[in-house]
Structure 1
Amino acid sequence: MENIQLKKGVLELCVLMLVRKKDHYGYELVMSISKYFEISEGSIYPLLHRMTKETLFTTYLLESKAGPPRKYYKITEKGVQKLEKLVDEWKLFVSSVQDILDDWGDENSSEK
């Protein structure tokens, strides 16, 4: 995915979904999301800071075998509610875009 605006729009949803499954630290989130599309560390940390400030996450430190303690993010009940709302909005959005693509495809095939 090359479109930066699309990535920014969906990043909060992805982060919430991953942290709901299990607590993560920042770099771990970057690596998990990068399996699906390219993101930079610089895009995750400001998002995590904002989401923590909005009380979507709590944080705690855990000792690391490789370096300093890591800050882990744990989803709150407010974060779960936000995730559920974003998932509903995402499904509606994807369905609407698919309808537009299907209509465009129908129009294009009738021209042949």
Structure 2
Amino acid sequence: METLANVLVGLVAALHVYILVMEMFLWEREPGRKLHGFEPEMARATAVMAANQGLYNGFLAAGLVWGLIAGDPTGFRAQVFFLVCVIVAGVYGAVTSNRRILFAQALPGTLALVAVLAAQ
């Protein structure tokens, strides 16, 4: 179960690195605009905000990686803390912005958290 938990945490971290790249570096380019359905003008107007969001997603990824490499109990606690942050961010995003964030962010975070807790 520990291996499954580590894989799921790693996948959630990778997801947040992907979000970082999309929001910080590709927001105004075709992949970022296509993902969000933005016209070039809207992407340009919101680029600074998106880069800020991307940075926060990078912090979530960094915390999850820290949780994977740190020894217990610190690693376990870091994983739980950052996965809860991922879940809260996903639920908030789904309620305030787009329902698909619930499935793209909160669900993977929840599955990883369940696995981490079960492996303990």
In which range does the TM-score fall when normalised by the shorter chain? 0.3 to 0.5
Name the structure with the higher helix share: 2
Structure whose CA Rg is larger: 1
More strand by share: 1
TM-score by length of 1: 0.33
